[in-house]
Every structure is written in C-alpha cells, then in structure tokens.
C-alpha cells in the first residue's frame, strides 16, 4: 500500500502490486501500476492496519465491499490500468468481524459479477482460529484448507496460501469428488 515500496519492487522485477488499501493510502498506486503495466490486487480494508479491527461494522458487508471494489476498479481503469491487470480481493480479515468474513466467502459469486478475477486470502486468519479454537496461526492449515475448497468451488480465481502443496491437494480432491458425484445425483 506504499507506492514507493511498490515502485522499487516492480523496478526490480515484480509483476504484481498487492495494495491492501485499494489505492486509498497511496493515491498514485493505480498510475504506478498503469505505467509499469503490472497486475494490481485491489483489496478492501475498513480503516487502517492500526485501527481496522476496532469495532468494524457493516449494515450489509457484501453490498458495501462490492460497491467499494467496483468504485476502486473503475478508478484504476480511469488511471490507465488495463482491465486484464485488475484483480479484486474482498479483504478477508481486514476490518471485518468473524461473521463478515463468512459472508464474504459466500459472496464470491456476487463479486465475480464485477468481471475481474477474485483473490481470496483466508490462510491462517484469526477467524479460522475463532471457529476452531486454535490460537496458534501455524496450526490453522486444516481449517484454511476448508476455506480454500469452499472459495474455489464458489469461483475464486486466486487463493493466497501458506501451505501451497496442501492447498493444491485439498482443492484437487474436492474437485474430483464433486465431478465424480455428478453421475450419482439423480
């Protein structure tokens, strides 16, 4: 979310910018992505990293995040970012209550309506610890795998993970089970 850091990264070979603020903390982030012709992840955040978890509230989290991502993607397009370089991320865990994170997972099909690839980052997040009573983030991979499968089955295009091999296995086996089940459903 700091354009000076992003600039140095792309100048040394990075081909993506991951902006947790969706271009709101550094107003020149979209112009930077456009000028270097790199992909940009536009993530939703409510507040700042310092205060985002202090009583976040939404009347309708999916609607608010959808409208915000739509607006930020339009701003990126106006700044010259090619449509194919835009990726959207609802910002799981960034200024969200536990139940908001679940609503956003269910909302993946709605977010897909915006026409951009959807990135989901649930790996080892605190909401997984909340529902599993696992305090140690490094021990949350089993719960993370469930969220990856769910997100992939609902249409997420990109998953941000810690255990790459485990995530690939979980999604592949879920896909195989679902595809094989089609012949058993009457």
Catalogue the active-site residues: 125, 160
What's the burial of 4, exposed, middle or buried (CB within 10 Å: 0-12/13-18/19+)?
exposed
Structure tokens at 156: 């997420």
| Strand (E) or helix (H) holding 16 | strand 16-19
d(CA 152, CA 158): 8
Cα dist from 89 to 12, 81, 93, 96, 159, whole Å: 25, 16, 11, 13, 10
| Cα pseudo-dihedral 72, 78, 80, 86, rounded to 10 | 30
d(CA 82, CA 99): 34
Which is nearest to 90 in space by CA: 50, 157, 131, 42? 42
d(CA 174, CA 178): 6
């Amino acid at each position: 979310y700091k354009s000076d850091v992003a600039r140095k990264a792309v100048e040394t070979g990075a081909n993506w910018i991951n902006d947790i603020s969706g271009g709101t903390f550094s107003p020149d982030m979209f112009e930077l992505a456009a000028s270097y012709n790199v992909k940009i992840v536009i993530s939703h955040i409510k507040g700042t990293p310092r205060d985002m978890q202090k009583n976040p509230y939404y009347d309708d989290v999916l609607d608010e995040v959808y409208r915000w991502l739509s607006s930020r993607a339009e701003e990126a397009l106006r700044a010259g970012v090619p449509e194919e370089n835009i990726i959207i991320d609802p910002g799981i865990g960034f200024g969200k209550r536990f139940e908001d994170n679940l609503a956003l997972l269910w909302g993946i099909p709605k977010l897909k309506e915006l026409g951009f690839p959807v990135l989901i980052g649930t790996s080892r997040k605190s909401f997984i610890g909340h529902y599993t009573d696992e305090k140690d983030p490094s021990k949350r991979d089993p719960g993370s795998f469930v969220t990856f499968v769910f997100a992939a089955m609902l249409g997420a295009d990109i998953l941000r993970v810690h255990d790459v091999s485990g995530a690939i296995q979980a999604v592949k086996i879920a896909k195989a089970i679902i595809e094989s089940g089609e012949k058993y459903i009457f």
